Amino acid sequence: MENSGKFFWGGSIASHQCDGAYDQDGKGPGIMDYVTAGSVSKPREFHNKCRDGVIYPSHYGIDFYHRYKEDIALFKEAGFTALRISVDWSRIYPNGDDSEPNRAGIEHYRDVIKELKNNGIEPIVTLYHFELPMAVVKNYDSWTNRKTIDLYLRYCKTMFTEFKDDVKYWATFNEMNHLDSDMILSDFFTYMNTGLCYSKIENPAYAMTMCSYNMTLASVKAIELGHGINPDFQIGCVFGLTPVYAWSCNPDDAIKAFHAMDKDWYQVDAMTKGAFPEYKLEIYRQRGVELELSEEDKKAFREGKIDFISVNYYGSAVESAKGAETEDTNFFGGQSNPYLEKSDWGWTIDPKGLLYLLLMLDRRYNLPMIITENGLGAVDVLEDGKVHDSYRIHYVKEHLNQLKLAIEEDKVNCFGYLMWGPIDLISATTGEMKKRYGFIYVDQDDAGNGSLKRLKKDSFEWFQDYTSKW
């Protein structure tokens, strides 16, 4: 994809975090519909069925399903020219393997996409953002089964065909690279991606291997499929990437830091270089799982290359060859950097890490990039109908300053900045409303109580002004 010179300003949201309406208009149960509310000190729980008296935040979200016109009007006012949304697979195929798609679900997304375009906002559609039909988990053992690839591709074909003239930019998956990592919340990240709880899997080495490989294969197959339906489609994949610094100038630390990034990079390699990386197959072998790639699989990796790289960036980490130099661990793996501040939820704040990451991606892959998530989760205080979130303004401004350096001085081909989330929504990791990201305040508490009234924070006007002068 050539850089047309057009730069997208906007945000990213996910259906399970904002839509609500979890059982309306033919939608089936998705894996996030069984996840409870939690907090930074209380992990979210995964239930086999919904229990009376338990809060399941996806059931109500922020009611974007019914309020999308109001919210899109606010996005336009803020100066957005793009919005990344997700399609909930269980709203299109309620059980994943239904004989026919749910027309009501298709028409809902058609209405949302039409509203975006009528407001001059480019839709960027993520096909899988932690939104797997629960029936696929129960009947097919999730992504451990290659049959799930076929179900996913049928779903993708439906979306590509229905919206071949309405959507140009697509993303196959969101952050499936977190499935295969050593992060603190391994149970939760495994569940979000697959509907499987890591600690309860009988053979986790095999299950994680098959899930990570099958999802990567499904992605490249979907890309080939989409390009066949409309050659003008621009199809990427969203990766949650955490640059890792060496603890010291000891060469062993540098090598340890380099290898620590393999868990994030291998899928990017697989989708850009025409082959599934041998170094990852070796990691699988070390787990005791030998994968023999068929000629069909090899062909899929050769032909299903992404058009652009979508980057979710929240912070960096540190690694030491000696093991932990400090007991302070980083949310996304590795150790925390003593030179950097943290958010209220313990996430490292590192604007220069964004520059570092973009430079690595640009020099390694030479592909267009778009930042699809970056933002600060914080406790916002509503005072006299206002939220004075100078801390959020500072966070976004500092990251945008580094982005500008990357583009102007280092000639990085980045064609957009989509912050997470432009409007307050349910936190994926904790299930809270208290952890707020948006430029737009939503009057709702952690229990789902409130008027749902939308209010513009100070950051709203700041972003509106800043982007107009970029």
Q: Is residue 241 part of a domain?
A: yes
Q: 249-268 burial string, b = 16+ CB within 10 Å, else e?
A: eeeebbebbeebbebbbbbb
The pair phi, psi for residue 373, each rounded to 5°, is: -150, 135
The 3-state DSSP class for residue 442 equals strand
What is the Cα–Cα distance from 317 to 336, expressed in whole angstroms?
Answer: 6
Structure tokens given for 358: 């973009």
Residue type, 33: D
- The two three-digit tokens of residue 420, written as one number: 């997470």
Please, are residues 329 and 244 in contact by the beta-carbon 8 Å criterion?
A: no
Q: What angle do CA 36, 14, 382 make, to 5 degrees?
A: 75
Choosing from 175, 282, 303, 327, the catalytic residue is 175
Decide: residue 199, CB within 10 A, 0-12 exposed, 13-18 middle, 19+ buried: exposed
How many domains does the chain contain in total?
Answer: 1
Distance CA 265, CA 192 (A): 20
Q: Which two tokens stand for residue 267?
A: 């899928």
User: How many Cβ atoms are within 10 Å of 272's Cβ, its own excluded?
Assistant: 18
- From first to last of its 470 residues, the chain has per-residue pLDDT tens of 444 568 999 999 999 999 999 999 999 999 999 999 998 889 899 998 999 999 999 999 999 999 999 999 999 999 999 999 999 999 999 999 999 999 999 999 999 999 999 999 999 999 999 999 999 999 999 999 999 999 999 999 999 999 999 999 999 999 999 887 554 457 888 999 999 998 888 888 899 999 999 999 999 999 999 999 999 999 999 999 999 999 999 999 999 999 999 888 999 999 999 999 999 999 999 989 999 999 999 999 999 999 999 999 999 999 999 876 666 666 666 777 889 999 888 889 999 999 999 999 999 999 999 999 999 999 999 998 999 999 999 999 999 999 999 999 999 999 999 999 999 999 998 999 999 999 999 999 999 999 999 999 999 999 999 998 88
398 is catalytic: no
Q: Which one, of 196, 179, 151, 195, lies nearest residue 30 by Cα?
A: 195
Is residue 175 annotated as part of the catalytic site, yes or no?
yes
How many residues in the chain? 470
Residue ranges making up the domain that contains 128: 8-468
* Residue 3 lies inside a defined structural domain of this protein: no
Indicate the pTM of the whole model: 0.95
In a domain, residue 354? The reply is: yes
Residue 1 lies in a domain: no
Asked, for residue 68, whether it belongs to a domain, the answer is: yes
Q: CATH no. for residue 204?
A: 3.20.20.80
Instruction: Report H helices in 273-385.
Output: 278-286, 295-303, 351-365
Do 179 and 167 contact (CB within 8 A), yes or no?
Answer: no
CB count in 10 Å sphere of residue 63 = 18
Res 1: pLDDT: 40
Residue 21 included in any domain: yes
Q: Is residue 448 in some structural domain?
A: yes
Q: Among 45, 162, 319, 373, which one carries the catalytic annotation? A: 373
DSSP secondary structure of 406-422: HHHTS---EEEEEEE-S
Query: What is the residue-wise DSSP string for 146-186?
Result: THHHHHHHHHHHHHHHHTTTT--EEEEEESGGGGGS--TTH
List, in sequence order, every beta strand (DSSP E) within 56-136: 82-86, 122-126
